[in-house]
């Protein structure tokens, strides 16, 4: 599996991908998921892939062959055309490979992120699906994820917007990646980070981060410590006693023979019920 995230604030674009692929716990390999197409002064395009590695490589090969025929990413005049070319490559691979995959009960599993800038238009970011169709990032939705997206999504939703700086967006993406690395062993180092500033039309900021990266280690440690600090600073729940009749719980009491149904949650008829207190009654953290 893999995890890739791309962000499109007003200031440019941020791309981050891991490099782990696995076919089981005893077969783990490292393959780059990020491909950069750069013609300085004219275009910078970044393509990231997730899903079946063989299909990802087949799509990249298809794009390379199309470029040799003058129909690839080097000849398009807009980012929308570039997304269409990537979608066409996905469909071509599907038509060729899908029957054999079905025969072996394997799904056609691939997703891609394509972003960049071609001279004469603004930065744009697309997510391309396994059917070859795609959607574009907007001012309201400035990021896309592919692969193991769920672990790193909360920080992106809380922090990212169109006005964020590129450095802050890169930091947010790295925190998102760190959360994913901690929760899923199918995502792993090294990481590829590319930050593109609008209208530069060349790659100026790129880093490959592994276990020896001092900044990423510091970021991971600091994020964990500050999460724990924030958690400890929040009040503990406070409880107040209420009458049983005022709660939404329906007590199920044991019958005369003392037997309680296996699917019933019993409440002690002689006890008391407490519910969460609100406002000033909150307790300080323990």
Rg (CA), the chain: 25
Cα–Cα distance between 216 and 18 in angstroms, integer?
Answer: 13
**146 contacts 135 by C-beta, under 8 angstroms:** no
Domain co-membership, 248 together with 213: no
Domain co-membership, 202 together with 277: no
Residue 206: which CATH number?
Answer: 3.60.20.10
Domain co-membership, 219 together with 83: yes
Tell me which of 229, 244, 278 is where a domain ends.
Answer: 229
**Which residue range(s) make up the domain with 12?**
3-229
- State pTM to two decimals: 0.87
Domain co-membership, 60 together with 9: yes
pLDDT tens-place values along the chain, 286 residues long: 799 999 999 999 999 999 987 645 565 678 899 999 999 999 999 999 999 999 999 999 999 999 999 999 999 999 999 999 999 999 999 999 999 999 999 999 999 999 999 999 999 999 999 999 999 999 999 999 999 999 999 999 999 999 999 999 999 999 999 999 999 988 999 999 999 999 999 999 999 999 999 999 999 999 999 999 999 999 998 888 877 666 666 666 666 665 655 544 444 445 567 777 776 666 677 7
Cα–Cα distance between 170 and 175 in angstroms, integer?
Answer: 9
Burial of 110 (0-12, 13-18, 19+ CB in 10 A): buried
Q: Each residue of 257-271: b (16+ CB within 10 Å) or e?
A: eeeeeeeeeeeeeee
φ/ψ of 102, rounded to 5, equals -60, -40
């Amino acid at each position: 599996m893999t995890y890739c995230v791309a962000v499109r604030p007003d200031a440019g674009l941020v791309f981050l991908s891991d490099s782990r692929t696995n076919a089981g716990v005893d077969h783990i390999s490292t393959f780059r998921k990020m491909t950069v197409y750069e013609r300085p002064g004219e275009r910078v395009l970044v393509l990231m892939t997730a899903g079946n590695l063989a299909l990802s490589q087949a799509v990249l090969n298809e794009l390379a062959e199309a470029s040799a025929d003058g129909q690839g990413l080097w000849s398009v005049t807009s980012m929308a055309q570039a997304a269409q070319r990537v979608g066409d490559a996905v469909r071509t691979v599907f038509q060729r490979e899908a029957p054999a995959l079905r025969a072996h009960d394997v799904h056609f599993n691939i997703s891609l992120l394509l972003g960049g800038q071609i001279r004469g238009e603004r930065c744009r970011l697309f997510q391309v699906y396994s059917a070859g169709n795609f959607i574009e990032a907007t001012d309201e939705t400035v990021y896309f994820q592919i692969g193991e997206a769920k672990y790193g999504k909360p920080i992106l939703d809380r922090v990212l917007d169109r006005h964020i700086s590129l450095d802050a967006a890169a930091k947010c993406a790295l925190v998102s990646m760190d959360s994913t690395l901690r929760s899923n062993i199918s995502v792993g180092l090294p990481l590829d980070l590319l930050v593109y500033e609008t209208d530069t039309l060349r790659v100026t900021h790129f880093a490959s981060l592994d276990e020896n990266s001092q900044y990423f280690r510091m970021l991971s440690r600091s994020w964990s410590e500050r999460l724990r600090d924030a958690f400890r600073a929040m009040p503990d729940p406070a409880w107040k006693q209420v009458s049983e009749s005022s709660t939404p719980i329906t007590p199920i009491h044991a019958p005369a023979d003392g037997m309680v149904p296996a699917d019933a949650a019993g409440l002690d008829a002689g006890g008391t019920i407490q519910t969460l207190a609100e406002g000033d009654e909150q307790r300080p953290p323990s």
